[in-house]
Chains A and B, each alone.
Chain A
Amino acid sequence: MLGAVDQGLISAILAIGVFLTFRILNFADLTVDGSFATGTATSTILVFNGVPPVAAVAAGCLAGALAGGVTGLLHTKAHIDPLLASILVMMALYSINTHILWLGKDGIKRSSVALLGKPTLFTWLVKHQLRGTWVSIALIGLGVVVVLVLINWLLKTKFGLAVMATGDNPAMAQASGINTDNAKIATLMVSNGCVGLAGSLWAQYNSAAAVGDGTGWILIGLASVILGNAIFGTRYLWLATIGVVIGAILYRLAIFYALKQPFFDPNDTRLMSAVLVVLALVLTQWKGAQALVTQLSPWRKKNAPEPMTVAPNQFSPFAEADAAAQVVASGVPSDVRAA
C-alpha cells in the first residue's frame, strides 16, 4: 500500500502539470501521454549511457517542456485547435520517443530499456529496501513539496497573473497588454516540464522505460485534478494544488485496492480510470455531494467569505454556464457582447 503512495506522489507532479493547463489555462492538453514517455525515455537512456541520474532527470524535464512548447506553437502560431494540436504532438512523440530509446551507446534498437545495476535516484532506497516505506514517501514527498512551492510562487508572480487572466478571459488579457500567445506557450512548457519530470522519476523508480509508457497518463492526471478539486475546491490556489497531490495519491490507492479484488486484473486499470473520472465529474455536479464535502471540510467553512453566487468550483468545466447564470441574475442580457 505504501508503494501505491510512492507512485501517487510521483504522478502528483504530473497532475500539477495537468492542473496548470486544464484548470488555469483552460486548455485541454493531451500532449501529456507523449511528454510523459519522452521523460521516461530520455532519463532512462541517459542513465543507461552513464549520465548521472540527477542530470538525466533534468534532461527528461526539459524534453517534456520542449514537447509542450511545440503544442503551444502549433496552437498559437498555426492556429490549430488545442485538442488537435496536442493530439498531433502526442502522436509525433511516439516516434520520437522510440528514437530516443534507440540512442543506447551499444547501438541496439530496443523498444524498452531496463536499468539493471545502473545507479538511479532511487538506488539508495532500493539497496536498503526502503521503496514503498515511510522513508521513501517522505523523500519523494519532499520533492513534491518543492514542485508545489515553485508552482504556487510562479502563479503569484506578474507572469502567473498574466497566465490566469489568459485562461479566464483572453480578450481582457489582450486588452490589458498581455501577450496571450506567449503566456500559453510558456504555461504549456511548464506543465509538460512537470509531466516530463514525473516521467523521469517514474522510469528511475521502476528502473525501466518502454515506448508505450505514456499511454493513459492524461486520464490519470485529469482524474487526480478532478478528484482533488472536488474535495478541496479551487477557491484558494494553495489548497487547490495540495488537493491535486492528494487526488493523485487517492487515485493510486483506489486502483491499488480495486486490483486486490479477485474479479479485477491489471488489464482493467484503464477502465477503472475512466469510470473514476466519470464518477468524479458527475458527483461534483450533484448538489448533495457538494454539501457533504463542504460539511466534511472544516477549511471550507472557516475560509468561505460569503455565500457563493458563482458556482463553488472555480475554473470548472461548466464555468461558462455559471457566467451566463451570473449575467442573467444581474439583469444583464447575455447577448450584449460587443461585436
Chain B
Amino acid sequence: MPETAAPMLSVRGVTKTFYPGTVNERRALVDVNLELAEGDFVTIIGSNGAGKSTLLNVIAGSLPVDSGAVVVDGRDVTRMHEHKRAAWLARVFQDPAAGTAPHLSIEENLAIAYNRGKPSTLALGLTRARRAVFREQLATLEQGLEDRMNHRVGLLSGGQRQALSLLMASFTHPKLLLLDEHTAALDPERAELVLRLTAQMVADQHLTAMMVTHNMDHALRLGNRLVMMHEGRIIHTLDAADKPTATVADLLDWFSHERGGMTDRTMLA
C-alpha cells in the first residue's frame, strides 16, 4: 500500500455519548481516531459495549456523532444522511434479516443493491441483461441461488441470506465495506462459509473493509490490520507488519492487561 495516498477512511476524534446527562449516560465512543488506506481490511474486536458497532453505525451514518468527523475518500460525510453515504459505503448486518427485504425476490433485492448510489428513476428495475449479471454473480456464492432468482428472500436460510447480503454489499464496488458481526448469528459451518466468501470478495475486488467480530480467531485470520476497542476507545492496534505473527493468546493478554485483575473469559463472554 502506498503510504502517501490519501486515506480511504478517516475517523477523526469521534465522540458519541448515549443518554447524556442522565443516570443511563454511556460513553460509547471517546475521541476515536482511525485511518484506513485503500485496500486495508481492518478487523475490530472488543468486549460487549466496547463501541465496535457504534463505530460502524457512526461511519455508516445511522447514528450522528457528538463531535469529530468522518471522511470517506477525502469527502467529509459527517453531516450526510445515511442513504446518501450509501453511495460509497455498503454494510452487512449481524441479523441476516436486516440486510435484505424478505418479501421481495432475490433478483429484486439484487436490483435494489445494484442501483445503490443512483436515483430511483422510472426505468425498469429488472432487465434481461441485468438478470444475466445477477445469475453469474449468484453462482459465485455456490448456494444454488442462481436457479431461485424469483424466490422470496424470506425463504432462504440465515447463511444464504448473509451470503446474498455480502454479494449485495460488494457488487457495486463500495469505497468502504462495513461488516458488523455478520457471522455471529450463523452456525459454525455457515459462519465459516460466509467468512470464506468475505475474504474472497475483499481480495478479488481489492475492497477497503472493516469487520467487527467477537471471534478472535476470525479477527486474526482475516484482514491485514486489527483494532481492539474497550469502553469506547481504541486500546490496541496491530498493523500489517505485526498482525501475521499475533496469536489469540496475545490478544487475551492485551485484554486482561487493560482490565487489570478480571479474567479474560468473563471479559469476552
Contacts and interface: CB of A to CB of B under 8 A. Distances in A.
A179 to B, nearest CB: 5
Interface stretch (B113-121, B133-141, B257-265): B113-121
Given A330-B157, A337-B95, A338-B95, A176 B111 contact: no
A175 B103 contact: no
Contacts of B108: 161, 164
B200 interface: no
Given A161-B125, A162-B112, A333 B185 contact: yes
Nearest to A333: B185
Contacts of B111: 158, 161
Given A161-B108, A164-B101, A310 B125 contact: no
A330 B152 CA distance: 15
A159 B120 contact: yes
Interface in A290-336: 305-306, 308-310, 314-315, 319, 322-323, 326-327, 330-333, 336
Contacts of A157: 120-125
A176 B112 contact: yes
B125 A169 contact: no
A177 B102 contact: no
Contact of A158 (B96, B103, B121): B121
A305 to B, nearest CB: 7
B116 A177 contact: yes
B113 A176 contact: yes
B121 A174 contact: no
Nearest to A169: B101
A177 B116 CA distance: 5
Contacts of B152: 310, 314
Contact of B154 (A154, A176, A177, A323): A323
Contacts of B113: 176
Nearest to A177: B86
B103 to A, nearest CB: 5
Contacts of B94: 336-338
Chain A interface size band reads 35 or more
Interface in A136-184: 154, 156-162, 164-165, 168-169, 171-180, 183
Contacts of B90: 175
A180 B122 contact: no
B125 A174 contact: no
Contacts of A175: 60, 62, 82-83, 86, 90-91, 93, 99
Given A158-B125, A175-B86, A338-B94, A326 B101 contact: no
Contact of A330 (B112, B119, B121, B158): B158
B124 A172 contact: no
Interface in B150-196: 150-152, 154-155, 157-158, 168, 180-181, 184-187
A319 B104 CA distance: 13
Given A158-B115, A326-B154, A337-B95, A168 B185 contact: no
A97 B120 CA distance: 34
A172 B86 CA distance: 11
B97 interface: yes
A159 B123 CA distance: 8
B213 interface: no
A282 B122 CA distance: 38
A336 B99 CA distance: 13
A169 B86 contact: no
6 contacts: A168-B103, A176-B112, A177-B118, A310-B155, A330-B96, A338-B181
Q: What are the 7 closest A-B residue pairs judged by CB atoms, nearest first?
A: A177-B86, A162-B120, A168-B101, A161-B125, A159-B120, A169-B101, A338-B94
Interface of A: 154, 156-162, 164-165, 168-169, 171-180, 183, 305-306, 308-310, 314-315, 319, 322-323, 326-327, 330-333, 336-339
Given A337-B95, A338-B94, 5 more contacts: A162-B120, A164-B108, A178-B86, A327-B158, A332-B158
